[in-house]
Amino acid sequence: MDAPSFFFHLKRRFFLFRGLLALLPMGALAKDNEHPNVLLICIDDLRPELKCFGADYIHSPNIDALANRGRAFHRHYVQAPTCGASRYTLLTGRYGPRDNGALFRRSSDETIRTTNMPAWFRRNGYTTVSIGKVSHHPGGRGGKDWDDNSKPEMPGAWTRHLCPSGPWQHPRGLMHGQANGEIRGNAKEMDVLQSFDGDDSSYPDGPTIEGALEQLKLLAKDPNPFFLAVGFLRPHLPFGAPARYVRIYDDAVLPGIPHPTKPTGRTTWHGSGEFMKYNRWKRDPRNDPEFATRVRKHYAGCVSYADALVGRLVAGLEKSGRGDRTIIVLWGDHGWHLGEHAIWGKHSLFEESLRSPLIVVAPGAGRLAGKPTNAIVETVDIFPTICDFAGLAPPANLAGTSLRPHLKDPAAPGRSAISYKGGAETIRTERYRLIRHSKGGKATHLELYDHEKDPGEIENIAGTLPDLAKDLGRQLDARLK
C-alpha cells in the first residue's frame, strides 16, 4: 500500500472510531480508576462551633478527624443566611436568588439545569446520588408533602434522589420532626427542645444515615465513579437529639455569650421568629440566662449527634474500599446566632449568620494536612474546587475559584466574600465588613465595621469613613454583577 492510501485508511479508521465513541452513553468511559469519587456532606444550621474550630467544650471527634486529614477553612462565608439560597450557590457555583425557592424557580433555566454541580458530574460519567437534605427540600421535590415527582428542584441532576422518611411519613414530616415520627403541625404545639433516650434512628436523621450507608454499598459495585451528597438535618430547629448526646453537656461550663445585647441603630437584627414560634414554656432566652444556657446545651447536643452521623458515614466509606479515592467536603449551609446581638437564629448579615464550617479532604492535595487556614473563601468556591481535584474542567462562568492553593498551603491569601438577603447585601474583606441596605436598587443605609478593632460588629463607622464605605460598595457591585 502506498503512503497516501495508508494515511487515507488510517484517517478513515480514526473517524469511524470517533463515531463509535459518540454512540456510547455520556461519560461511559469515566471509570473509578480515572476520576476520584466525591462525598459531599451538608449539615443544616451548623455554626463553626466545633473543637477543630477552637470550641474546646464541643464534643466533635469525627468532624475533628476530617479536619486533621485535610484543611479546615476557619473563615468560610456563605452567600445567604437561609437554607435554600445558600444551597443554590453551593449546587450551582453562582450567586443567585436570595430566598428558599431559589432552585425551584431556576429549574427551567437551561444553563442552571445543565451545569449545576450534580448534573455536571453526571454528564462526565459519575453516578450521582443525593440523600437527605441537600437542596432545600429533603429529597428535592415540591408538592404539599415535598414528595411530588413532577416538581423536582433539580431536574435530571441526580441518578438517584432519595429521602427515606421512616415513621415521619414524607420529607416535609422529616424536615421539622422530633423523636419517633412526631411531625410538626402547629409549631406552637411542638417543643423547641427535646432529648429522647433512644438510638440514632429515633430522630429524623436516622433514615438518612441508614440510607446513605446502603448507597455506599451499592456504589462500591458501580463501575463509574460516584458523587454522593448526604444532607443531615440537625442541628436545625427544633433542637432534638438522642439523650446521650445532650447529656455530654450536663456539667459543661459554656463560655459567655459575646456581645449579647440588641444593636442600636438600623441593622439586619430581627426578632428570632423561627425560634420563638415553637413551644418555649413561656420562656425567652433573651432575658432568661438559665434558659439560654439550656438552649445552647441542646444545640451542642444536636451538633454531637450530627458528628456521630458523620463518623458512621466516613466509616461506611472506608468499609466500601473507596475511601482513599474519595474527595470529602463537609459544609455547613450557614451560621446560627446563639444569643449574639440578641438573636437566636440565622437570617441576619452579621458574622454569626454568614460564617460556617468548611472542611476539604482531597487525595494528593499536598502536605501540611491538619493545619487550618484563615483565608477568606466562599461557598461558590466549592464547585470549582471539586472539579479541580476530580480532574474535570468546570463549567464556564462560575463565580468562585478552586481552593487548591489553600489545600497546598494554608498561608495562601484569600479574597473578599459577598453575601445577601432580601433588602441588603454585604462584603467581608480581611479587615472590614460593609452592609448595605437598599430599596429599589438604591442604597438607603450603610453599616461599616472594623474587625481589627471591633470583631463583634458593634460600632458602625460608616459615617466616619465615607470614602472607604464608597470603595467597598463599588467592590460589592463589581462582584454582584
Question: Is 19 a domain residue?
Answer: no
Collect all residues with Cβ–Cβ distance below 8 Å to 253 and sequence separation of at least 6. 57
Grid cell, residue 407, equals: 489545600
Question: Is 416 a domain residue?
Answer: no
Question: Is 114 a domain residue?
Answer: yes
Among the three residues 374, 409, 444, which one is the final residue of a domain in this structure?
Answer: 409
Provide the CATH number for the domain around residue 453: 3.30.1120.10
Grid cell, residue 390, equals: 476530580
**Among all chains, which residue has been given the C-alpha cell 440510607?**
211
Considering the entire predicted model, what is its pTM? 0.93
Nearest to 286 by CA among 324, 322, 339, 335: 339
- Cβ–Cβ under 8 Å, residues 123 and 26: yes
pLDDT at residue number 427? 98
**Same domain (yes/no): 428, 343:** no
Which stretches of 41-161 are DSSP H helices?
61-69, 83-92, 102-106, 110-115, 117-123
CA dist 466 and 263 (Å) reads: 21
Among the three residues 383, 409, 435, which one is the final residue of a domain in this structure?
Answer: 409
Maximum pairwise Cα distance, the chain: 95
- Cβ–Cβ under 8 Å, residues 360 and 70: yes
161-189 burial: b if 16+ Cβ within 10 Å, else e: bbbbbbbbebbbbbbbbbbeebbbeebee
pLDDT at residue number 366? 66
CA dist 275 and 451 (Å) reads: 28
**Same domain (yes/no): 41, 123:** yes
CA dist 311 and 337 (Å) reads: 26
Q: Is 345 left (phi over 0), alpha (psi -120 to 50) or beta?
A: left
pLDDT at residue number 166? 97
Provide the CATH number for the domain around residue 394: 3.40.720.10
How crowded is residue 54: how many other Cβ atoms within 10 Å of its Cβ? 12
**Same domain (yes/no): 430, 360:** no
**Same domain (yes/no): 377, 442:** no
Peptide bond into 238 cis (omega under 30): yes
pLDDT at residue number 56? 96
Among the three residues 356, 378, 409, which one is the final residue of a domain in this structure?
Answer: 409
Tally of domains within the chain: 2
How crowded is residue 199: how many other Cβ atoms within 10 Å of its Cβ? 10
CA dist 336 and 465 (Å) reads: 29
**Same domain (yes/no): 383, 246:** yes
Q: How far is CA 124 from the centre of its chain?
A: 23
pLDDT at residue number 264? 94
Question: Is 381 a domain residue?
Answer: yes
Q: How far is CA 453 from the centre of its chain?
A: 30
**Same domain (yes/no): 294, 435:** no
Q: What are phi and psi of 218, to 5 degrees?
A: -65, -45
- Distance between terminal CA atoms of the chain? 61
CA dist 437 and 253 (Å) reads: 38
DSSP state of 248: G
**Among all chains, which residue has been given the C-alpha cell 437542596?**
135
Question: Is 6 a domain residue?
Answer: no
Grid cell, residue 238, equals: 427544633
CA dist 235 and 47 (Å) reads: 9
- Cβ–Cβ under 8 Å, residues 338 and 47: yes
Rounded to 5 degrees, what angle do the CA atoms 176, 174, 216 make?
130
Question: Is 24 a domain residue?
Answer: no
How crowded is residue 25: how many other Cβ atoms within 10 Å of its Cβ? 7
**Same domain (yes/no): 248, 382:** yes
Q: Is the dihedral of CA 62, 67, 68, 70 positive or negative?
A: positive
Which stretches of 336-429 are DSSP H helices?
351-354, 382-390, 404-408
Residue 475's domain spans which residues?
423-481
pLDDT at residue number 14? 37
**Same domain (yes/no): 337, 440:** no
**Same domain (yes/no): 295, 382:** yes
Which stretches of 285-380 are DSSP H helices?
289-319, 351-354
**Same domain (yes/no): 187, 254:** yes
**Same domain (yes/no): 399, 445:** no
Which helix (H) or strand (E) is 171 found in, with range? Answer: helix 171-175
Question: Is 201 a domain residue?
Answer: yes
Instruction: Show pLDDT as tens, one digit a residue, over the chain (481 residues).
Output: 444 443 334 434 433 333 333 333 333 333 444 799 999 999 999 999 999 999 999 999 999 999 999 999 999 999 999 999 999 999 999 999 999 999 999 988 999 999 999 999 999 999 999 999 999 999 999 999 999 999 999 999 999 999 999 999 999 999 999 999 999 999 999 999 999 999 999 999 999 999 999 999 999 999 999 999 999 999 999 999 999 999 999 999 999 999 999 999 999 999 999 999 999 999 999 999 999 999 999 999 999 999 999 999 999 999 999 999 999 999 999 999 999 999 999 999 999 999 999 999 998 776 678 999 999 999 999 999 999 999 999 999 999 999 999 999 999 999 999 999 999 999 999 999 999 999 988 999 999 999 999 999 999 999 999 999 999 999 999 999 8
pLDDT at residue number 363? 86
3-state secondary structure of 64: helix
* Paired strand residues for 193: 239
Using CB atoms within 10 A of its CB, is residue 18 exposed (0-12), middle (13-18) or buried (19+)? Answer: exposed
CA dist 232 and 4 (Å) reads: 64
Nearest to 309 by CA among 219, 220, 235: 235
At 281, the amino acid letter reads W
Question: Is 192 a domain residue?
Answer: yes
**Same domain (yes/no): 323, 463:** no
Beta-sheet pairing, 226-232 with 127-132: parallel
Q: How far is CA 367 from CA 71, 404, 405, in A?
A: 10, 12, 12
The tally of CA atoms less than 13 A away on the side-chain side of residue 453 is: 6
CA dist 456 and 343 (Å) reads: 13
